Copies of this chain bind each other. A is one copy, B any other.
Amino acid sequence: MVTVAAVLIGDEILSGEVEETNSRVLVETLRATGASLGRIVIIPDDPDEIAREVRHCSDAYEHVVTSGGVGPTHDDRTMEGVAKAFGRPIVRDPAIATIIKRILKDGANEAALTMADVPEGSHLIDAGAYPVVAYRNIYILPGIPEIFREKLGYLRERFSDAPTHVGRLFLGCYESVIATELAAISRERLGVTIGSYPRLSGEYRVQITVKSQDVAAVEHALELLRERLPAEHLLRVCPPEVSSKDDQAR
């Protein structure tokens, strides 16, 4: 399984000045690629915190996506945080400096050119109007929602993995009625992940999800659950389908 972690950076998100929307875009995009999103962290524009978090994520996950803190002002500290995480200096990337000069012309002052300052050893992976660099397995994306969405779209194929299949059962009882049997089945090494999600109101009280990249394993587990969970509470069973954002409204 391809694993991804996300580090969203910005005081303004935590203080509520700006409504955070990039995490939703990230969840939807990764869901469509089949990759597994292992962690989302929202932290302030603090180089030490950024360093600590990106280092952990870079070591523990295959890919890391960051969002925010890459502009020209004093509160844009992401590059400094990433550099600090790996003990690397910040250096000016000539290719990015050239892009900035081309776009901003007379406006390419020293502050604007600081946007070309990246951790030594970074790679320019997108030389468009908003250049993007990666350091190691860390993709450093701008936080502005329109640009974040566009840049993440370009990265999609790097995260692609075999699709995950999801089957579902809907029941009309409390979770506690089925918890013991569900735990027993989930211990049977069926090669699937079984989740249980209660709801306070609506047509069902609990949704059971069965997930795996192996569709036959999902089918087998669904069959077992259908046999062993109490028939009087079972409302419906949905056969496996590929997990994608389209079934999110369910």
Using a CB–CB distance below 8 Å, which chain A residues touch chain B? 11-20, 23-24, 27-28, 30-31, 36-44, 49, 71-76, 104, 107-112, 114-115, 144, 146-147, 164, 166, 174-180, 182-183, 186-187, 193-200, 209, 211, 243, 245, 248
Tell whether, in the assembled complex, residue B104 and residue A176 are in contact, meaning their CB atoms are under 8 Å apart: yes
Which chain B positions have C-beta within 8 A of A76? 196
Which chain B positions have C-beta within 8 A of A39? 14, 41-44, 49
Q: Classify the secondary structure of A's interface with B.
A: mixed
What would 18 more interface pairs be, CB under 8 Å, given A39-B42, A144-B199?
A: A14-B39, A14-B40, A15-B27, A15-B243, A17-B195, A17-B248, A38-B44, A40-B41, A40-B42, A71-B175, A71-B179, A72-B174, A72-B175, A72-B179, A73-B179, A73-B182, A74-B187, A104-B176
Q: Which of A11, A13, A186, A187 has the most CB of B within 10 A?
A: A11
Which chain B positions have C-beta within 8 A of A179? 71-74, 111-112, 114
Q: From residue A13, how far is it (CB to closest CB) to chain B in Å?
A: 8
Tell whether, in the assembled complex, residue A71 and residue B194 are in contact, meaning their CB atoms are under 8 Å apart: no
Q: From residue A61, how far is it (CB to closest CB) to chain B in Å?
A: 12
User: Taking CB as reference atom, which chain B residue is nearest A56?
Assistant: B52
| Docked complex Cα distance between A127 and B174 (Å) | 20
User: Taking CB as reference atom, which chain B residue is nearest A209?
Assistant: B17
Q: List 6 A-B contacts (CB under 8 A).
A: A11-B195, A17-B209, A23-B42, A39-B42, A71-B198, A73-B182
| Docked complex Cα distance between A217 and B196 (Å) | 51
Task: Pick the contact of A18: B15, B20, B146, B197 (CB < 8 A).
Answer: B197
Q: From residue A149, how far is it (CB to closest CB) to chain B in Å?
A: 12
Which chain B positions have C-beta within 8 A of A187? 74
Q: Which of A13, A28, A111 has the most CB of B within 10 A?
A: A111
User: Taking CB as reference atom, which chain B residue is nearest A249?
Assistant: B19
Q: Which 3 pairs between the two chains have the least Cβ-Cβ distance?
A: A111-B179, A112-B176, A74-B183
